Structure 1
Amino acid sequence: MTITDKPTPLPNKVDFLIVGGGPVGLLSANLIVQAGFTVRILDIEAEPNHWGRGDWIHGRTLELLERAGLADELLKTGVKVEKMATYMNGTIQSTMPFVPDQVESKHQYLLCVGQHITESSLQSILSLNDVQVERPSTVVKMEKCPDSIYPIKATVMNMQGETSTEEIECKYLLGCDGAHSDIRQQLGIANEGETTETHAGVLDALVRTNFTGRRDVCILQSDHAKTISLFPRENGLTRIFVHFNENEHDLRKEQHNRNKIQLEDIQREAKRALLPHRIEFLGILYWTVYVVGQRQAATMDSHDNRVFLCGDAAHSQSPTLGQGVNTGFGDVFNLIWKLCLVERGQIKPEVLSTYTAERHPIASKVLSIDKTAAKAAAGHKSEDYCMAVQENRSFTTGFGIQYTNLVNTDPLVWNSDCENTRYVMQAGMRAPHYKVVQFSSGRKVRLFEAHTESTPDWLSFTILVLANDLKKTSEEIKPFLAWHNNHQTSLTTRLMVVTTSTADTVAAYDLGIQPELIMLDKLNRAQCHTGYHQKTELQAENSDDIIVSIVRPDGYIGTLLRGTSGEALGKLAQAYFDRFCVLH
């Protein structure tokens, strides 16, 4: 571009308009671009924040980011933490794995990485598609034009240089603009909850210490100090939280509020809690004081399913358990595939109402757990805090999040047979990433890692067929495979057959599918079949059953089908897709 060239004007008609250029907005924009839709993304801040905020990425979030090809840079940069430890007066009291042992995933750890790195990584990938966050800009007015191809007209104020306004027409608007969301306020959605008088001081620093546990997530208490949380960060940094007491006076004996807590107060409490170990602060890169509170929007969408709230705009809590970014990313992965498939004409628009139905209860539980944990930490009761962490690890790490309470009321979560309730694995649960052996290569892989289609993983349904031993089931598997080859849906589906047979047995049966999509379940006592066959009570297993697990694009089981007839299973699978698919 020469000096006289003008930049190419941005389109004033787009499929999606995103307000908020933080990690939640950036992730949304990346997925939208991957799906082939147009997007503009705005943020009211003139510059992105470079320090602080969310720096815990849980294993379940990493699974989802990997499905979208967005995890590589974070995994290279962040620090993997496998354990949480508690200390009293410098002596270790207990340790536990950060992720429960029964979880089957290659990400059985916490990834500690600064939010600025998460944002930078997502923005760099977005830039490859010529999409940048427009700063400082925001939506000051929304009008509905229901009969238009672009039913939302947004008045955008651009504040770079001389303030100006423009009209942007879009099909959908996403409010990813934080806890003080202007989009939420424009929609008139109440933000319910409370702000407490509890505060948490936090700093990121380069430190020198003889405390040997700094590579774990550590909760430290002493008889003469406040509770602190300490954990590693990327590039040798350490993050320290100081949990100040609720309704207490601060160290200056004045009314306790965030303006009276200073950096030296946070450092002093950290030094006291670490005694008899020493800590020296070589450099402070960031510090702040959080006001602890829990608030949630009454709903996460507009009544016409054209405007949606994601992340802190829909729910906000303390940083105690690192739920902010993870819950926001969970919102995005739940919502964007539905929006994209609706716009492609592949699923019914009514499906969009499942976003609030599925995510609002999850956010409520996040806030409830956070309230308990934050109160325990501020009250200096390590046993209560650790109990809250221990009891909720499955949920807070994301692996235990599920939509089982919506079975049959949600078109995407269906139980075809009441007998299915006798099994541990249920529709609405996360589909475990079991270890298997790929028939074509002999390599050990995880389920859902092997694919050949060009459609992004997060836009495809996976039909997982657990065939048991092909010597017994091959004749019944073939009618189901025939259904799959001719099924009446407009969706992209990825078929995968898992068998307990040997490679020689598989070779003797021509299933008519690509060999790389056949998996041998022979690791850890056939853990895939064992997991899906496990019952809630000790009962004899019917090992002749074929199991079909239809997994949604966001990695949750949409339905579980069991039986011995491949033809009947095909009819049930069709019935599931008929609940929400547009037939062509």
Structure 2
Amino acid sequence: MVKESRVDVLIIGAGPSGLMCANALAVAGVDFRIIDNRPIGVAAGQADGIQPRTIEVLQSYDLAEPLLKEGAQMHLCAFYNPGPDGGIERTGRAADVTAPTARYPFKITIAQASIEALFIESLKSQGISVDRPIVPSSLEISQDPEELLDPSAYPVKVVLDRILPSGTTTEQEIVHAKFVLGADGAHSWVRKTLGFTMDGEQTDYIWGVIDFIPDTDFPDIRNRAAIHSSNGSCMIIPREGDKVRFYLQMADKDVMDPETGRIDKHKVTAENLINTARKTFYPYTVNEPKQVDWCSIYIIGQRVASKFSKHERVFISGDACHTHSPKAGQGMNASMNDTHNLAWKLAQVLRGRADISLLKTYELERQKYAQDLIDFDREFSALFSGKPRTSENQEGVTHEQFLRAFQASGGFSSGIGVHYMPSAIVDTIHQGCAPNIIIGERMLPQIFVRAADARPVEIQDMLPADTRFKLLLFAGLLTPEQLTKVRRFAEELELPTSFLQKYNYPAEGKAQSMFDIISITAGHKDDVNFLDLPPTFRTHWSKVLIDDMDVTGRLGGGAYARFGIDETEITMVVVRPDGYVGMIAPSTALESMDKYFGSFLIGKTLNP
């Protein structure tokens, strides 16, 4: 008899995207199961770059520390172009991250296996493991509209086959799920089963990639380096320890089978890739490597899935819905940020606190981002793979062209500039209250001083990814007149008709309350008494901050001016559970806040 089971969320695929989702759901206390078709995770190779925004996201789950400690950090990028003697010469260096508001102004590189291990260890500490090796063999979604709109229903049926050591599949299981996530890679079974197409194109650019410990006299081997040579292009990515990754542009003759016109995998050897590097690096030498970990080859494809979800019951994420070149370091970052966007929405719908329509914003936000990513990647790849300008090739790419594109794309490639368009959860009506906190972008990093003990704190560290909406109350300069306004506003929020009362479910088990209020006053740390604020605005002694410098005079201060917030007004900034600003409103526009939260949250049933 076939075993049957039920689960709230079934995650298919235990790469970075699936594991990010699993970890977020585990933290939120959601019932889920994660399966993978591989007996073990990635051993070597694959993705390796963590962008500044993704470091912030991992920090919000308390997972960034090991990466900051163990990974290589890329602070500088060097640029090389053809020199007069036929070899290459350095034409400049620039900051590797050109995003002024980055909290971490560098990229981290470390093996994908280490990143996966981070999530797996976090899950293990909560008694959860990846179920493997298992493959799905069929997926059906109910056609009943009522069932599809009922968050408590199990409208998705997935048949799973467990792969036995002999390679046969005998143990079969039928899983009834409320929601399914296909995080199963570029050849996604889930995407194909749903009938979604991958729209875009494949380029003619062939690239080899090799991870190794080099022996070379190249002076920028520990910086990111972009090399344009007459022999082709190369990107150098320093890695953890002494390792380095080379992305090498390959000539057709070096990798193609002349009879079939297809890539001949037998030609893709470490020796061939090192030989290509030697030609590209001249006059610098690349000797026999001390150690080779992994090498591979790929043709750049740039595609986005036609849809990211079916009936808001089955979703796809990561490489299953967008593929692009790896040289801008976007793949794994985009993949993890897909499910960082989705997980809190699933959690609130499953708790019965948010309407199922909230899940429509996943495709709305992440599909547009993926399309923007492909457009960026198309331009960046063409510039990187194009022939450099030389005296013989006046039509080629100049150093100035490439540098301009590199620096202009900094906000996007770092993830810092991700901007979600207006929707149910992004309302820009009162943007003017804080013109420099951009609604739809992540909350800017800023150091404040804690009112109770003068300790400097980074505001992003007070915005953990715990499914709560953070309400930043900029209370202004606490004059007697201002305090009167603040107390009156607190009384309004305490009315049973206000959003704070209607939607603020109490904490239950692992499920947090809906809102976390953090008050931020103007003024000086010597003068502010946090007990002057009404209890609604000081739920804990640690939740009242001052826009002032710390006792050393080096950290903090100037936030009101930086954000464009008036110290004589009361301004509320709503930060979504994923760290993005969803709404800003003055205290005089409480009805706007009520309308915002009422558009996607479900009010508590009040006792008669």
- Identify whether the pair has TM-score above 0.5, normalized to the shorter chain: yes
Distance 1:477-1:215 versus aligned 2 partners, 3 A rule = farther
Point out the more displaced range, 55-64 or 149-158.
Answer: 149-158
1:188-227 correspondence to structure 2 within 5 Å: 188-223=195-230, 225-227=231-233
Corresponding residue of 1:155: 159
- In the alignment, the residues of structure 2 paired with residue 230 and residue 267 of structure 1 have an alpha-carbon distance, to the nearest angstrom, of 13
Corresponding residue of 1:285: 293
1:398-417 correspondence to structure 2 within 5 Å: 398-403=415-420, 406-407=421-422, 410-417=423-430
Corresponding residue of 2:443: 431
- In the alignment, the residues of structure 1 paired with residue 29 and residue 240 of structure 2 have an alpha-carbon distance, to the nearest angstrom, of 33
Corresponding residue of 2:545: 519
Which of 90, 93, 98 is the matching residue for 1:92? 90
- In the alignment, the residues of structure 1 paired with residue 575 and residue 567 of structure 2 have an alpha-carbon distance, to the nearest angstrom, of 22
* 1:319 matched to 2:326: yes
Which one-letter code corresponds to 2:418 in the other structure? Answer: I
**CA offsets 1:293-327 (integer angstroms, 9 cap, x no match):** 1111101000x211000100011111121101100
SS in 1 for 2:254: coil
- In the alignment, the residues of structure 2 paired with residue 138 and residue 72 of structure 1 have an alpha-carbon distance, to the nearest angstrom, of 34
Which of 53, 59, 67 is the matching residue for 1:60? 53
Deviation at 1:485, TM superposition (A): 5.0
- In the alignment, the residues of structure 1 paired with residue 215 and residue 321 of structure 2 have an alpha-carbon distance, to the nearest angstrom, of 39
Corresponding residue of 1:463: 471
**CA offsets 1:81-133 (integer angstroms, 9 cap, x no match):** 1121212345332222222252141x111010110111122112212233322
- In the alignment, the residues of structure 1 paired with residue 465 and residue 330 of structure 2 have an alpha-carbon distance, to the nearest angstrom, of 25
- In the alignment, the residues of structure 2 paired with residue 508 and residue 552 of structure 1 have an alpha-carbon distance, to the nearest angstrom, of 25
Which gives a bigger RCO, structure 1 or 2 (Cα 8 Å, sep 6+)?
A: 2
Aligned CA RMSD, in angstroms, stands at: 2.4
Which of 113, 136, 140 is the matching residue for 2:137? 140
Q: Is the 8 A contact 1:174 1:307 kept in 2?
A: yes
Deviation at 1:510, TM superposition (A): 1.1
Corresponding residue of 2:379: 372
* 1:493 matched to 2:498: no
* 1:531 matched to 2:562: yes
Distance 1:11-1:447 versus aligned 2 partners, 3 A rule = farther
Could you tell me which runs of 5 or more consecutive residues in structure 1 were left unpaired when the two chains were aligned.
1-8, 535-541
**CA offsets 1:251-298 (integer angstroms, 9 cap, x no match):** 789457363444333212222333333333111110000111111110
Distance 1:440-1:509 versus aligned 2 partners, 3 A rule = closer
Distance 1:382-1:43 versus aligned 2 partners, 3 A rule = farther
- In the alignment, the residues of structure 2 paired with residue 464 and residue 269 of structure 1 have an alpha-carbon distance, to the nearest angstrom, of 54
% identical equivalent positions? 26
- In the alignment, the residues of structure 1 paired with residue 198 and residue 18 of structure 2 have an alpha-carbon distance, to the nearest angstrom, of 20
Q: Is the 8 A contact 2:256 2:263 kept in 1?
A: no
* 1:447 matched to 2:451: no
Q: Is the 8 A contact 2:456 2:556 kept in 1?
A: no
- In the alignment, the residues of structure 2 paired with residue 385 and residue 570 of structure 1 have an alpha-carbon distance, to the nearest angstrom, of 48
- In the alignment, the residues of structure 1 paired with residue 432 and residue 542 of structure 2 have an alpha-carbon distance, to the nearest angstrom, of 33
Q: Is the 8 A contact 1:135 1:160 kept in 2?
A: no
* 1:123 matched to 2:154: no
Deviation at 1:525, TM superposition (A): 8.0
Which one-letter code corresponds to 2:525 in the other structure? Answer: A
- In the alignment, the residues of structure 2 paired with residue 329 and residue 479 of structure 1 have an alpha-carbon distance, to the nearest angstrom, of 42
Q: Is the 8 A contact 2:134 2:160 kept in 1?
A: yes
Deviation at 1:470, TM superposition (A): 1.5
Corresponding residue of 2:592: 572
Distance 1:252-1:339 versus aligned 2 partners, 3 A rule = closer
Q: TM-score, normalised by structure 2?
A: 0.85
- In the alignment, the residues of structure 2 paired with residue 202 and residue 90 of structure 1 have an alpha-carbon distance, to the nearest angstrom, of 20
Corresponding residue of 1:539: none
* 1:397 matched to 2:414: yes
SS in 2 for 1:87: strand
* 1:238 matched to 2:244: yes
Distance 1:262-1:495 versus aligned 2 partners, 3 A rule = same
Q: TM-score, normalised by structure 1?
A: 0.89
Which one-letter code corresponds to 2:28 in the other structure? Answer: A
Which of 479, 483, 488 is the matching residue for 1:479? 488
Corresponding residue of 1:506: 528
- In the alignment, the residues of structure 2 paired with residue 92 and residue 141 of structure 1 have an alpha-carbon distance, to the nearest angstrom, of 55
Could you tell me which runs of 5 or more consecutive residues in structure 2 were left unpaired when the two chains were aligned.
82-86, 388-396, 506-513, 550-554
SS in 2 for 1:196: strand
Q: Is the 8 A contact 2:268 2:296 kept in 1?
A: no
Point out the more displaced range, 130-139 or 22-31.
Answer: 130-139
